[in-house]
Amino acid sequence: MYDDHEHRMDAAGQFAGHNPHAAAEAFTAIACDQGVDDDTRLSAAEQVAELDPHAAAPACLAIARDRGVGDEVRLSAAIHLAAADPGAAAPACLAIACDGEVGDEVRLCAAEQLAAVDPGAAVPACLAIARDGAVGDEVRHSAAAQLAVLGCSA
């Protein structure tokens, strides 16, 4: 039995063969819809990235910046964006790395991903982690080490 979100995903998928642009727009609408479950939103963003990598930014950013979405899903959206359109990934990674509500390891992964796509933008992310006393020592040290690699200090 289909729920509304599955129906929307199926309908968007049917567009893909006939009108990839319309399909990308439909998948983006699903990915940006906060009423849709996290996994479906991520799946929709992945579909956008496959259809048109440069159109993936709005879908992936909507998920990465949404504090109501699970940490791992937010990180996955940022990683998909980095693979599809590295230049557009910095805001997604930065939003996760600087969010004190996100788990320590996920924040560090986002900062490391950011360093890979935009080293200059990674500095504030690594600083935020290294200076956050609520973050575990090992992760803080890793962030400080990343800063050293980037040529900065905490």
pLDDT 10s digits, 38-75: 999 999 999 999 998 888 999 999 999 999 999 999 99
Domain boundary among 37, 69, 88: 88
Looking at the fold, whether 72 and 102 belong to one and the same domain comes out as: no
pLDDT at 79: 94
CA–CA separation, 72 and 145 (whole Å): 23
CA–CA separation, 72 and 114 (whole Å): 16
Single-letter amino acid code for the residue at 93: C
pLDDT 10s digits, 129-141: 999 999 999 999 9
Looking at the fold, whether 13 and 77 belong to one and the same domain comes out as: yes
Looking at the fold, whether 56 and 127 belong to one and the same domain comes out as: no
Does 126 or 152 have the greater pLDDT score?
126
